[in-house]
Chain A
Amino acid sequence: MDGPQRDGSATPELGDRDAELVEELLAGSHRALARVITRIEDRAAGHRAIVSALHEHTGGADVIGITGSPGAGKSTLVDKLAAAYRERGDTVGVVAVDPSSPYTGGAVLGDRIRMGSNVGDMDVFFRSMSARGQLGGLSMATADAVKALDAFGKDVVVIETVGAGQNEVDVVRTADTVAVLVQPGSGDDVQTLKAGILEIGDVFVVNKADMDGAERTLAELEEMVHRREGPTKGLETGHHGFDAPEHPDDPVDSDASTTDEGPREWTPEVLRTVANTGEGVDELIAAFDDHAAHLRESGEIEATKRRRYAEEIRTLVRSDVGALAADEIERRGGVDQLAEAVRRRETDPYSVAAEVVAPIVDCVETSRE
């Protein structure tokens, strides 16, 4: 069973059937891999045990995130990337995330249509996922699906998602290398990228570079990338500040421009591609390789991974504690009833929250003693 165990022995227990599933996955069964990802997506009972069993087998894959506005050509580019990786003998996993309807939960996952270059090639494992869960759930499910593909033995795992909000940014941040796709003539597009997405790009790609306005968009991106070395740099390190002190070569003073790796700082590359024809794809892969090499040589990869696992731990703990609280709310008659009481001025949100959390606090205090 899932969830925190009462005695605090935390390792989730692997059921017999799940153990079999894990074994089959590690032995290379596509069906088992697909099954495991479904379990992960469903947040099904036992999925945690599966993911924890897989964890020790992960770490072999280069994880690449591709994001960009709808219509920028992400799926087509991913298709060509996968084909190029296959050409040089790498096996590829793809997780493509599409939005789902907030009303019905339904979704049409269309990214697969573009996978024309890899149909019939089972060494490209393509999986569509919908943004099913609530906050934080999606990035967690994506990260777990990536782990499954990694443990399966994929050399490269690509995460593809629309870059349209915090959820997507979280998703793509589970990748080691992030490419942001822009289409030409989208001056405003580049503007919108400034908020949030620009900071996460390691490589910027102007796709459909045979269209009018490509040069200008390239120039704009170049400019923005170089400007980012100014004000946003400090912001970035501040953001992941907790791992900064663990860098042996980190200066103690907190001057924004010196807290990073110094001379080894990665300057995002700006590239051009025409995904339809495959133009520029080899250069893009070279850029990914460069970035991966940079991460390894500078030791940044460890910091990146630490940061990611820290986020995972936080998300998991938050969701577990949140679920305990949700149970407690149910026990007290459900959130609607509590809200109604607040509306009638019988109580207030702060008191309700305190009451709900009180038993959890008690437990924690008791077990600490």
Chain B
Amino acid sequence: MSVEQEERAIRCLVAKVGLDGHDRGAHVIARAFRDAGFEVVYSGLHRAPEDIVQAAVQEDVDVLGISILSGAHNTLVPKVIEGLKEYDAFEDTLILVGGIIPDDDEDELKELGVAEVFGPGTPMEETIEFIRNNVPERA
């Protein structure tokens, strides 16, 4: 008998890492996620990978969306993933990367555990659909 209504919401962290001050995209994404009914935590600008890990672990997010337009993804994303593993939070976090990512790098990132990379011009619905379909099940 389930007396209490379970109130599950998809929680996302929209993160800006490194020396990249372009956050318009992250803002637009955050609002779109909100309007899709997600709970969005925004990291703010210029975060170090450890900060992102701290936020992702403490906020216990289902989805971590990292926005990088600076080209430093090959350095920063692995650090974030490493940190998540350290806190045992890698397995059930859906990691997405948005920004300018060359195709070769995209493959590499996916190898590391990034679920999908969304480049410029990706329709918002596509990203949201992807999240809905791939958000990790929690026991």
Interface residues of chain A, those whose CB is within 8 Å of chain B, are 1-4, 17, 29-31, 34-35, 37-38, 41-45, 100-101, 104-110, 112-114, 116, 119-122, 125-128, 130, 132-133, 137, 319-320, 323-324, 327
Contact = CB atoms under 8 A, between A and B. Distances in A.
How many B residues are at the interface, by size bracket?
A: 35 or more
Contacts of B47: 119
Chief secondary structure at chain A's binding surface = mixed
B22 interface: no
B33 to A, nearest CB: 7
Given A100-B39, A128-B41, 14 more contacts: A3-B4, A4-B3, A31-B89, A34-B60, A35-B60, A45-B2, A45-B6, A105-B37, A106-B40, A108-B42, A110-B42, A119-B50, A120-B48, A120-B54
Interface string B106-139: 0000000000000000000000000000000001
Interface in B1-42: 1-9, 11, 30-31, 33-42
Given A30-B58, A127-B59, A108 B6 contact: no
B43 A113 contact: yes
Contacts of A42: 6-9
Contacts of B76: none
Given A101-B34, A122-B54, A43 B39 contact: no
A112 B43 contact: yes
B3 A2 contact: yes
A324 B3 contact: yes
25 contacts: A1-B1, A2-B2, A29-B88, A31-B57, A31-B87, A34-B60, A41-B9, A43-B5, A43-B7, A44-B6, A104-B34, A106-B35, A106-B36, A108-B30, A119-B50, A119-B51, A119-B54, A120-B51, A128-B59, A130-B9, A132-B7, A132-B9, A132-B39, A320-B3, A324-B3
B60 A3 contact: no
A43 B6 contact: yes
Q: Among B4, B57, B88, find the residue whose CB has the most chain A CB atoms closer than 10 A.
A: B4
A17 B138 CA distance: 12
A112 B41 contact: yes
A120 B7 contact: no
B100 interface: no
A112 B55 contact: yes
A8 to B, nearest CB: 15
B44 interface: yes
A125 B58 contact: yes
B43 A107 contact: no
Contacts of A133: 7
A84 B55 CA distance: 20
A46 to B, nearest CB: 10
A79 to B, nearest CB: 11
Contacts of A132: 7, 9, 39
A320 B54 CA distance: 36
B92 to A, nearest CB: 10
B1 A44 contact: no
A41 B10 CA distance: 12
